[in-house]
Amino acid sequence: MNPADYKDLNTSPRILLGPGPSMVHPRVLRAMAQPLVGHLDPEFLKVMNETQELLRYVFQTQNPLTIPISGTGSAGMEAALCNFIEPGDKALIGVNGYFGERMVEIAGRYGAQVDRLDRPWGAVFAPDEIEDALRDKGYKLAAFVHAETSTGALQPHVAEIAAACHRHGALLVLDTVTSLGGVPLKIDEWDVDIAYSGSQKCLSCPPGLAPITVGARARDLLRSRKTKVANWYLDLSLVEKYWGSERTYHHTAPITMNYALREGLRIVAEEGLEARFARHRANAELLWAGLEELDLPPFVPLAHRNVTLTTCQLAPGMDDPTFRRRLLDEYNIEISGGFGPLKGKIFRIGLMGFSSRRENVALLLTAMRQLMLR
Ligand SMILES: Cc1ncc(COP(=O)(O)O)c(C=O)c1O
């Protein structure tokens, strides 16, 4: 090993228009350069309190238990399931894309008896079919993905789904990894019991934290568990003591990532949720119009098309990996392809947080047009 072989890191300033991570806001990068303080330093405790307040604003909730989990979105997913499942509990999980599959996998590992509610990739669920699936089954929990990043579909009618879950005694878990901070999401008004997200999508931060919010019904259930949560690291009854008034050490918080999240959330609050949702929609509509002009038709019907993650079909004969590689090499732009049943059939284009900019849409469409002409 010769240390001289290891050069300074000099990564390219990519334009990240894939399914995530999206581009980090320059203010977030500046916040990350602040000196490290200890995880129980009064200055950090203030950062924690402010982050929780800002998270409640972004989730549109008053839930006291609203915190960033240390870990990526999948840690949020795991926390949202492992804390509320005891071995033998029944769970209903909606699978209309890749991340529903992942929830099935995780819930099963914690001993849940999982029933799947399957819909084709790109489709969404109707509240009635969910209600039918819930009837007389004794599910403790039902879980759905709000914005399926693998397909570009946005699940509508969340309030109706939550009401159906509660009529049948189940908690509603909602994956909001690709929706939080980009599309309307009203945790309290819709009565969602547990929602989790990730820092690297519409919040314009690097990957590494998973905001989660837990409502009163779910919190009561956590307190009345008969068995210990099978995952020590993600056990919310322990983690909440660090984020609550006790400030009991659980694990060393990733301080710098929390600086980042606080700044990302501050930027959301300054812009205002409504203005932010309108910006995401306007830029997505611009993209959709441009893709239609390029004869790259949308994959998801307008009625449930997600504005933060667009999917379009490929043109006949288009070589997906080569096209995307050229976008990256020649234009510094990252977009993504489909996977699972959509491999080789679609592009996935993210316009999230700091990446959702008019100039990025114009640049991408111009680059795609030039590559298609050659
Ligand atoms: C909808 C959804 N859920 C969960 C995850 C998992 O998040 P992570 O990759 O940050 O662990 C992702 C990541 O893209 C996602 O899009």
User: Ligand 1: does its nearest atom lie under 6 Å from the Cβ of 290?
Assistant: no
Question: Whose CA is closest to atom 2 on ligand 1?
Answer: 177
Q: Is residue 347 a contact partner of residue 335, using CB atoms and an 8 Å limit? A: yes
The residue whose CB lies within 8 Å of the most ligand 1 atoms, and thus the one to mutate among 22, 78, 99, is 99
Is the minimum distance from the CB of 178 to ligand 1 under 6 angstroms? yes
The residue type found at 308 is T
What is d(CA 153, CA 144) in angstroms, rounded to the nearest whole number? 12
Dist. CA 42 → ligand 1 center (Å) = 32
User: What's the pTM value of the predicted model, to 2 decimals?
Assistant: 0.98
Q: Give the model's pLDDT for residue 335.
A: 98
* One-letter identity of residue 78: E
Check: CB of residue 193 under 8 Å from CB of residue 218. yes
pLDDT in tens, 296-314: 999 999 999 999 999 999 9
Q: Which of 104, 177, 185 gets mutated to test ligand 1 (max ligand atoms within 8 A of its CB)? A: 177
Query: d(Cα 50, Cα 55) in Å, to the nearest integer?
Result: 8
Task: Give the DSSP letter of residue 341.
Answer: G
The two tokens of residue 44 are 């950090």
Identity of the residue numbered 195: A
> Which residues of the chain are under the pLDDT cut of 70?
none
AA identity, residue 167:
R
Q: What is the SS3 assignment for 230?
A: coil
Interval 112-122: pLDDT, tens: 999 999 999 99
Q: Does ligand 1 have an atom closer than 6 angstroms to the CB of 153?
A: no
- The rounded Å distance from CA 177 to ligand 1 centre is 6
Residue nearest to atom 13 of ligand 1 (CA): 73
How does pLDDT run across 9-68, given as a tens digit for each residue? 999 999 999 999 999 999 999 999 999 999 999 999 999 999 999 999 999 999 999 999
User: Which atom from ligand 1 is nearest to the alpha carbon of 150?
Assistant: 16
Domains of the chain (ranges, CATH numbers): 15-21+273-373 (3.90.1150.10), 26-269 (3.40.640.10)
Please identify, by atom number, the ligand 1 atom nearest to the C-alpha of residue 146: 1
Q: What's residue 374's pLDDT?
A: 77
Identify the pLDDT of residue 117. 98
User: How many other C-beta atoms are found inside a 10 Å radius of the C-beta of residue 235?
Assistant: 17
Per-residue pLDDT of 44-61, as tens digits, reads: 999 999 999 999 999 999
Q: What is the pLDDT of residue 231?
A: 98
* CA-20 nearest atom, ligand 1: 14
- Residue 336 pairs with which residues in a beta bridge? 348
